[in-house]
Chains A and B, each alone.
Chain A
């Protein structure tokens, strides 16, 4: 009875998957914090592979599962700022010079918000960060899988006149940034082919 056998095998696989998933879900999000010295708490330094910090991360990366936009410490309204005519590069400096755009420090936010809209609750939160001498712990939105060994350099894209919205979506519609585009290799390649940019492997993977 090959049909039954095959079904049995699949059932075993499904059972193992399910139990595995339960175990993964049940495990704590990080290793227990060892408090040897309370004055020097270190972040958890464990890694699953060089590319993934955890098993869950590896599996969801493999299956391209992503949770929704991450919760940010401040509900920063991009749309308000853009609508008032602020250009992206005013805050995200260095995007035309190097691989990464800067995320402004709380000092930069407060250079305007010392006077503008200082009564808004979110701006008060920003002011509180500065008062504590802390920077805002923004959470990364776009990131590629480190296993892809892909490097992205903003500057040549800006020089080639690629609009920020091509990859980041229309910021006039967004409060905190969302992953507007699924940045997989197909997306990159379609644009590179269209614009006759290099599609050599080593252009991005090095």
Chain B
């Protein structure tokens, strides 16, 4: 047979064998009438607010005509609508100035997530089983109203409780008012890595109970004690922009950056000098540096600041913190301490900051006050300090009324378990404390005792699996969003934006549901929440800002409202404040060094356990987004998994090789994860990223990796009661080889891992 014929025959027979299906997949779905008329192929950019972390960055959403599969009146069909295609930073927004971090970009996947709850759900199976059945909104709200009117008629207002993520802006106001109208206690806000210690320390030292704004673009010298300010802490986008300017934005003037921490973070990897320090000794190191500055007379000794008065022995020149003493405690050499002191003092504008693990020790408050005192010394009464506080917007709000953090959530669980106070109805909004709290506080058991739990979550997670009723909220891009940036800008910033796209599913915005329920309950509850919809509430809250907009203010309220909703918020003219005198903080006894205490005896549990917020998932609330699962960790390149960071020397002693499965055991439990050998970690420390190890959180996160928060001891910071998440000691054992470890690294090839097994 000729070659030509052979080719023809094989082509045709090949086509026949490749036959999988024939015919055209013409739309068998009906097409709904579009709600809006869009020009095909033309993109519009709409403002929005990133809600994936608490920085409050402004985003722009690229919206184009597209086709979406939706359900209308119980029928599935296709509709042409404006769909969000891409997110970018809003260039006009003072916090992120046109930039957006990788987590922010992934907010698109919240909108299109295949496991988003599309309809109201009612529990069918046992609690926590995740077995729900779909119900209508009418039935769902009727059920909620019937439960709420029951408790309204009861005398005890404490029968309603609310668990949320830390909220700002009008969502917080709304929930506050709703609970107050019931006579219920204030909402409990919880996130695992809360900043109570730093806020409290800043209130004492500088008069502002807030996270600091860092104007790094003017800094010549920065010393950071554990702050991962380029990765996960505070306002990472704003800080990264400032850091870029500090290092490369000024010709001939490159600022120096020193990082003190015991496990190298992404931020530490950027430092000129990386100084490991014993856990819980960071405050001692800061005061050691201050001692040298004072004793070498690099700064006037009689300078006054309230931050100095908070440190015992400051007036005497910190005699307890001579370099040789400090060296013994911290493991940092006396020469390094002296060198750091001279560098800070020589810098025109220097700053010292603290965050992360040093605050999560039993002596976290001491560490914070010590670094704040060093900061005050470094800035030396500068008129425009590097570290300042973002002014609050001049609008009327109810007094800060939230039970925040670990003390609140553990007291809540304890009250239920001891049968002192069990709420009859619990409202859950965007918080997952079952995942984010140590198993030892028994929150799971406590939730199981609450008769009725309502969740407003968009996803089923470990906490909302306990819900009896789920009333799914819109995705942020489908909602009115507002936020008041706590930090990141030297002027007041209110981020505000209307929905960028129409809702894809049969969901309702949480604020609108609460307003509707309040109206239908009537009486004082309706009177406390008189607005018809959430945008009306936002308008009445933010339109008064027009009076503070100076000469450029639009002439009418309507125009002002249009302006702030189209530019993505309202911001004041720049001002810098570190209003030390303004605050009336209660006097604090001068802080004395107290040795950090750790849970577990050093003989039995030889290692300090250092969980750290994951670059991708922060505290674990973003683990359901596949783009973030796919994003390699900056230091280790690990992805889609958990890992344990070990010093190579420690690993050699314990005969652990890269990728082998190890078990970390504390007094409160154990987790298993593959080992990653890293030189950037002290030999007596093992570190593990927080965020994986979800039992029940979408198809992408469930059953993947291990959760280090579960094995933490319920040790608290002695001053504030915040969870001291870096104060647990652990032991370590090799329990399996690399095959069991299943470490997925981006670097070094992934061919060893069968696709089906590793990537779902």
Which A residues fall within an 8 A CB radius of B?
Answer: 6, 9-10, 12-13, 16-17, 20, 23-24, 27-31, 33, 39-48, 53-59, 93-94, 97-102, 105-108, 130, 133-137, 139, 153
Contact of A13 among B5, B22, B29, B74 (CB under 8 A): B5
CB-CB < 8 A to B23: which residues of A?
27-30, 44, 53-54, 56
Tell me, rounded to whole Å, the shortest Cβ–Cβ distance linking A134 to chain B.
5
The distance in angstroms between the C-alpha atoms of A106 and B503, with both chains bound, is 21
Give Cα A59–Cα B20 distance, bound, in whole angstroms: 15
Smallest CB gap from A52: residue in B:
B24
B33's partner among A45, A47, A134 (CB-CB below 8 A) is A134
Known: A12-B9, A54-B21, A94-B39. 11 other contacts (CB 8 A): A13-B9, A30-B24, A54-B24, A55-B15, A58-B15, A97-B42, A100-B41, A108-B37, A135-B32, A136-B31, A137-B31
Once the chains bind, are B41 and A98 in contact (CB under 8 Å)? Answer: yes
Q: 8 Å CB contacts to A: which residues of B1-33?
A: 1-2, 5, 8-9, 12-13, 15-16, 18-33
Assess whether B22 is in contact with A28, with CB atoms less than 8 Å apart.
yes
Which of B5, B21, B29 has the largest count of A CB atoms less than 10 A from its CB? Answer: B21
B566 CB within 8 Å of chain A: no
Partner of A9, one of B2, B27, B73, B79: B2
Q: Is the Cβ of A16 less than 8 Å from the Cβ of B13?
A: yes
A-B contact list, 10 entries, CB within 8 Å: A16-B13, A39-B74, A53-B25, A55-B22, A94-B40, A98-B39, A98-B40, A102-B38, A105-B33, A134-B31
Closest to B31 in A: A135
Q: Closest 4 A-B residue pairs measured CB to CB?
A: A29-B23, A94-B39, A98-B41, A99-B41
Q: Are A57 and B24 in contact (CB under 8 A)?
A: yes
Please name the residue on chain B nearest to A27 by beta carbon: B22
Residues on B with C-beta less than 8 A from A10 are: 5
* Complexed CA–CA distance, A42 and B8 (Å): 37
B12 contacts A53, C-beta separation under 8 Å: no
Chain A residue numbers with a CB within 8 Å of B73 are: 133
**Interface-central residue, B19, B23, B76, by most chain A CB under 10 Å:** B23
**Cβ 8 A contact of B39, one of A54, A93, A137:** A93
With contact pairs A13-B8, A41-B28, A98-B42 given, residues A135 and B22 touching in the complex (Cβ less than 8 Å): no
CB distance from A173 to the nearest CB of B (A): 26
B147 on the A face (CB < 8 A): no
Selected from A100, A134, A136, the residue in CB contact (under 8 A) with B77 is: A134
Known contacts A48-B20, A54-B22, A99-B40; is A135 also within 8 Å of B27 by CB?
Answer: no
Residue of B nearest to A24 (CB): B22
B binding-site residues for A, Cβ under 8 Å: 1-2, 5, 8-9, 12-13, 15-16, 18-34, 37-42, 69, 71-74, 76-77, 79-80
Q: Is the beta-carbon distance between B20 and A134 smaller than 8 angstroms? A: no
**Of the candidates A12, A43, A100, A102, which one forms a contact with B25 in the assembled complex, judged by CB atoms under 8 Å apart?**
A43
Are A30 and B9 closer than 8 Å at their CB atoms? Answer: no
B425: min CB distance to chain A, Å: 31
A31 near B21 (CB under 8 angstroms)?
A: yes
Given contacts A20-B15, A41-B76, A98-B39, contact A135 B33 (CB under 8 A): yes
Q: Closest CB of chain B to A48's CB: distance in Å?
A: 7
A59–B23 Cα distance when bound, in Å, is: 12
Least Cβ distance of A199 to chain B in Å? 23
Least CB distance from B115 to A in Å reads: 15
Residue numbers in A under 8 Å from B2 (CB-CB): 6, 9
Given A9-B2, A43-B27, A133-B73, the answer on whether A107 and B33 have CB atoms closer than 8 Å is yes
Query: Bound state CA distance, A139 and B160, in angstroms?
Result: 55
Contact B34 A17 (CB under 8 A): no
**Are B34 and A105 interface neighbours, CB within 8 A?**
yes
The residues of B that contact A42 with a CB separation of less than 8 Å are: 29, 69, 76
Contacts of A99 on B, CB cut-off 8 Å? 40-41
Given contacts A12-B5, A55-B19, A105-B37, contact A44 B12 (CB under 8 A): no
Q: Contacts of A30 on B, CB cut-off 8 Å?
A: 21-25
> Across the interface, which residues of B come within 8 angstroms of A43, CB to CB?
25-29
Nearest Cβ in chain B — how far from A86, in angstroms? 17
B1 touches A9 (CB 8 A): yes
How distant is B557 from chain A, measured CB to nearest CB, in Å? 32
Cβ–Cβ contact B9 & A102, under 8 A: no
The answer to whether B40 touches A101 (Cβ under 8 A) is yes
- CB-CB < 8 A to A28: which residues of B? 22-23
Nearest CB of chain B from residue A84's CB, rounded to whole Å? 22
Residue on B nearest A139 in the bound complex, by CB = B26
Query: Contacts A16-B9, A93-B39, A98-B40 known; A53 to B29 CB distance under 8 Å?
Result: no
For A24, list chain B residues within 8 Å (CB).
Answer: 19, 22
Contacts of B32 in A (CB 8 A): 133-135
B26: which A residues are within 8 A, CB to CB? 43, 139
Is the pair A105, B80 in contact by a Cβ cutoff of 8 Å?
Answer: yes
> Using Cβ atoms and an 8 Å threshold, which residues of chain B touch A136?
31
Q: Are B28 and A44 in contact (CB under 8 A)?
A: yes
Min CB–CB distance B133 → chain A (angstroms): 13
**Chain A proximity of B68: nearest CB distance (Å):** 13
**Residues of chain B with a CB closer than 8 A to A135's CB:** 31-34, 79-80
Docked CA distance A33–B29 (Å): 12
